[in-house]
Structure 1
Amino acid sequence: MLAIIAAVLFFFAFLINAAEIATNDVFTSMNVMLIGLALLALHVAGVGSGWAARGRRR
């Protein structure tokens, strides 16, 4: 799920950069891209995957 959100943020960053849309200081294409990279790093680290490492029950 985090990877999908990251892909959407990368697409928005591309649109902001390609269309040269004037935005405020918070939503620049670089900031949106960095948020996407942070979400992608969390996805690769396994955060939000839904799998929990639990011991075996006998």
Structure 2
Amino acid sequence: MLAIAGAVLFVIAFVINAADISTNAIFTPTSLMLLGLALLALHVAGIGSGWSTGRTRRR
């Protein structure tokens, strides 16, 4: 789920950059890209990748 949110942020950053839209300091394409990279890093680390059930191994 975090990877999808990161991809959406990348698309928004690309559109802002491609359309040359002037935004305030918070929503610059660079800050959105960095936020997207942080979300992708969390996804790769296994955080937010899905619910884990308390599976136990039977012998």
CA RMSD of aligned residues (A): 1.7
Compute the TM-score of the two structures, normalised by the length of structure 1. Answer: 0.86
Unmatched tracts of structure 1, length 5 or more: none
Superposition deviation, residue 48 in structure 1:
1.1
Q: How many residue pairs are counted as aligned between the two chains?
A: 57
User: Is 1:37 paired with 2:46?
Assistant: no
Per-residue Cα deviation, 1:2-38 (whole angstroms, up to 9, x for no partner): 0000000000000010000000001000000000000
What SS is found at the alignment partner of 2:26?
A: coil
Q: Which runs of 4+ in 1 moved over 6 A?
A: none
State percent identity of aligned pairs.
63
Compute the TM-score of the two structures, normalised by the length of structure 2. Answer: 0.85
